Amino acid sequence: MPYILSAAHIDLPYRLSQESAREFAREMFGSSFKDIDRLLRAFSNGQVQNRYLSTDIEWFKAEHSFEEKNRKYIEQATEFGALAIKRCLDNQQFLNQKIEPSEVDAFIYISSTGLATPSIDARIMNMLQFHQHVKRIPIWGLGCAGGAAGLSRAFEYCKAFPKAKVLVLCVELCSLTFQKNDTSKSNLIGTSLFSDGISCALVSGDEVDRQNMSKLSCIPNILATQSTLMPDSLEVMGWDVKNEGLFVVFSKDIPTIIKNWLKPNVEAFLRQNQISFRELDRFIAHPGGKKVIEAYEEALGFDAEMTEKSLDILKEYGNMSSATILYVLEQFMLEQTVRGELGLAAALGPGFSSELLLMRWE
């Protein structure tokens, strides 16, 4: 089965404490909400303690056009995306030897926070020495589910081409979508949760020599994947695209939807692969927020230990949309693992949708 050979992320240059983020929100929105102190409790209750931004917080206090913000997205996504790729292909915690960009067969680029044509993958290929015949697969609009979906598409590519190495790059600069004049509660809650993140993973086919390339005794093999779309749920999560840019759509019902919808979805997936909940050793979950993690635990019957790494990433980095799950995966790969352990990766996104991956460490 295709396996994940390496993963990496980069810490963006501006680290922001949750206290500073809360005071920024008070300055931006204080005059718009009579009950601002009550609403700002979301910054304390959401478990986020820090986050990283690609741009200094002072920049967001001024007005910026959609054009200006998107231009910055293109510049930063290209620069920081290239750095994440180099780190992934030369991650000495996972690899015995550096892998050159020219050895990559397919490049999957995931994002939902900016627009570019030519896409960011093409721009990065002009910076790094990729082969000119690399299959480029830019995917836009999957939001928080995008990182898991990227791994799933890489798995399918490597099933078809077992000698392939597939790069999955997630770039989310959520801060550049900030709307200082949007006084909706969704925008305020989004400000308390979302941050910037860039992560990368390398998925390889069965016929790639893992023995000589991997430094780890056990690495995650992807056994199966499942994509699911909930009918008539377009209003749950996403963007409202206006002249000023991207306005967040974020339903308060997401935790309830997870509790009611996710368990039968996961049960059916595991049953197809003849696996029970009791056999799962690891849960590689996208931490959408504290309430989302609690909904995972309640819906799937997991204890806090199963979601500990996801919560740790949420505390230090916030919700980085698609990139977040690769941060969590990297932490699991760094941990000593017993051969044969089973893991379930899960992420939820606009649609409303879910992406699931079943993994076994071998």
Residue 353's contacts (CB-CB under 8 Å, 6 or more residues apart) are 142, 145, 227, 228, 229, 230
Block residue for tokens 């879910």: 354
- Say which of 88, 144, 158, 170 is annotated catalytic: 144
CA distances from 318 to 49, 182, 222 (A): 8, 21, 26
Contacts 24+ apart (CB under 8 A), 245-250: 245/66, 245/69, 245/70, 245/177, 245/179, 246/113, 246/177, 246/179, 247/179, 247/182, 247/184, 247/187, 248/177, 248/179, 248/182, 248/186, 248/187, 248/190, 248/194, 249/186, 250/186, 250/189, 250/190
Residue 141 DSSP class: S
- Both structure tokens of 62: 């001024």
The tokens describing 216, both together, are 């780890």
Query: CB atoms < 10 A from the CB of 99, how many?
Result: 19
Interatomic CA distance for residues 208 and 228, integer angstroms: 30
* DSSP for residue 133: T
**The residue type at 338:** V
Q: Is 88 a catalytic residue?
A: no
Catalytic residue numbers read 144
